[in-house]
Amino acid sequence: MKHLLIVACLLLGQVLGPAEESPRLDEYTLATGPVVIGGVSQNASGLTYHAERDSLFVVLDAPQRIVELGLDGSLKRKINLNKFDDTEGITWLGKNRFAVAEEARGNIVIVELEPKDGGVSWKKAGKLRTDIKVNLTNGLEGIAYDPLAKHFFVAREKRSPAVFKIIPPKPESDTPPTSILMSLAGRGLRDISGLHYDAKQERLLILSHESACIVEANKYGIEKSRLLLRGGKSGLSRTIFKAEGVALDKHDTLYVISEPNLLYVFKKGKLQPKKSDDKGSK
């Protein structure tokens, strides 16, 4: 019986093939960009990917607004964030629900965006108030979501930059969310400006604009690879200036936005980047 089980497992492995792994970040190179983001003139501050709509969503910190983009950076719609403050990060939660990080308030604000232009009220939105020490110049700068474990990752930007796992309280509970410092995540980076969690591969992408790189870490925060965002590396002719947001789509294409309003697209392998205006990078 033991030998039959072994044979069966071998045959099943041949049929299914090896488990597909996403490419390491150091295998990526610039495919397109920089591209000027449609409908945005300044302050692009956070990025997320909506798999069901196959769109990118960018949050601005002034004016407080979310814009939906095509994967080429073209504008689809604008959504005003009424009474929000210093919105620096955004992550998709599923369907039309998103979480927005307010830097100085230390809030995770849960919003639902209707599939059209319009606005969202801060007063009516759900909120998670973290206990992470923040202030006007050093607060929550990035946010990501694990849909399986149903918890968040948030980043404190600088002066001891760090990633925290945020576990929301149970429904109808008045207790605050639990914040757990991930001491290994982003170790050695000069700042953290954006996050993305890839649930399929259980990996966290950590963006740093001052260190000009994206770190790929496992779910414990241990670094696996990194993508350099400096001129002369990763197909870039110039260093990406003020990289603020990062996201992967369902095809493992990697997107980076930089302030004030530029989009960079990276894909696996050595590619010839599409020509575009690189104004705003240096």
**pLDDT tens series, the chain, 282 aa:** 444 444 343 333 433 333 456 679 999 999 999 999 999 999 999 999 999 999 999 999 989 999 999 999 999 999 999 999 999 999 999 999 999 999 989 999 999 998 777 799 999 999 999 988 876 667 899 999 999 999 999 999 888 899 999 999 988 788 889 999 999 999 999 999 999 999 999 999 999 999 999 999 998 999 999 999 999 999 999 999 999 999 999 999 999 999 999 999 999 986 665 655 444 444
Domain edges within the chain: 31-268
Contact assessment for residue 253 and residue 267, using Cβ atoms and an 8 Å cutoff: yes
Query: How would DSSP label each residue in the chain?
Result: -HHHHHHHHHHHHHHH-SPP-PPPGGGEEEEEEEEEPTT--S-EEEEEEETTTTEEEEEEETTEEEEEE-TTS-EEEEEEEET--SEEEEEEEETTEEEEEETTTTEEEEEE--SSSEEEETTTSEEEE-----BTTBSEEEEEEETTTTEEEEEE-SSS-EEEEEEPPPTT--SPPEEEEETTTTTT-S---EEEEETTTTEEEEEETTTTEEEEEETTS-EEEEEE-STTSTT-SSPPSSEEEEEE-TT--EEEEETTTEEEEEEES---PBP---TT--
Q: pTM for the complete prediction?
A: 0.88
Superfamily of domain 31-268: TolB, C-terminal domain (2.120.10.30)
Whole-angstrom CA distances from 171 to 109, 123, 167, 174 are: 15, 19, 12, 9
The one-letter amino acid at 53: R
Contact assessment for residue 95 and residue 105, using Cβ atoms and an 8 Å cutoff: no
Nearest to 186 by CA among 196, 177, 178: 196
Q: Rounded CA gap, 250 and 52, in Å?
A: 10
Q: Rounded CA gap, 96 and 103, in Å?
A: 23
